[in-house]
Copies of this chain bind each other. A is one copy, B any other.
Amino acid sequence: MVETFLGEVLIDPFAVMNTIGLVAFALVGAAKAIRERFDVFGILVVGLVVAFGGGATRDVLVGRIPLALQNVGEIALGTLGVSLALALSFLLDSPDDHPITLVADAIGLAAFATAGAIVATEAGIPSFGVVAVATINAVGGGAYADILLDRSPFILFEDFYASPAVLGGLSFWAVTTVGWTVAPAAAMCATV
């Protein structure tokens, strides 16, 4: 399985990272909304905002139309993540504190930091900008959700949260600048 995964990363690393990030973050966002006792519509909105907020901001910053508006597969993946969170909420008491959700959060963060670094590099952004775009891609959706839920974004209080995204972006840049191709850099960035 690991080999298959690495094989796919070597073919189109952005698609893989983006898919992982969308499902993981939609699950995390929906779990947050479930805790706030929102109805199904509110859970769907918060889940999709967490899943698409970071990537849409990234796309606007590099000057292109957000992928989520161009690709129906993106919406399907987001809805899948929300559905997983709803299924979890029937099995568990507080889905947003469950290890599954925490692991999904960490995985989504790594995947979106990598996806952001890939997009920024392809857009010709220089290295420090790549780190900034990777960080925005990774923490943007969660920050928007916190603003929607009317609380101060967690990134200001949990400084260890954004650090992996910054590190991931840095390591992606370090690897690409020494002349490797994008694919192994993405794999390395995601493992940080």
- A residues sitting closer than 8 Å to B (CB atoms) are 38-39, 41-42, 45-46, 56, 60-66, 68-70, 72, 75, 120, 123, 125-126, 128-129, 132-133, 143, 147-153, 155-157, 159, 162
Instruction: Give Cα distance in the complex from A159 to B39, angstroms.
Output: 8
Chain B residues in 8 Å Cβ range of A123: 65
Chain A, interface SS category: helix
* Closest Cβ–Cβ distance, residue A55 to chain B (whole Å): 12
Instruction: Give complex CA distance A46, B153 in Å.
Output: 11
Nearest residue, chain B, Cβ from A65 = B63
- A132 to chain B: closest residue by CB: B69
Residues on B with beta carbons closer than 8 Å to the beta carbon of A152: 148-150
Partner of A128, one of B42, B72, B129, B153: B72
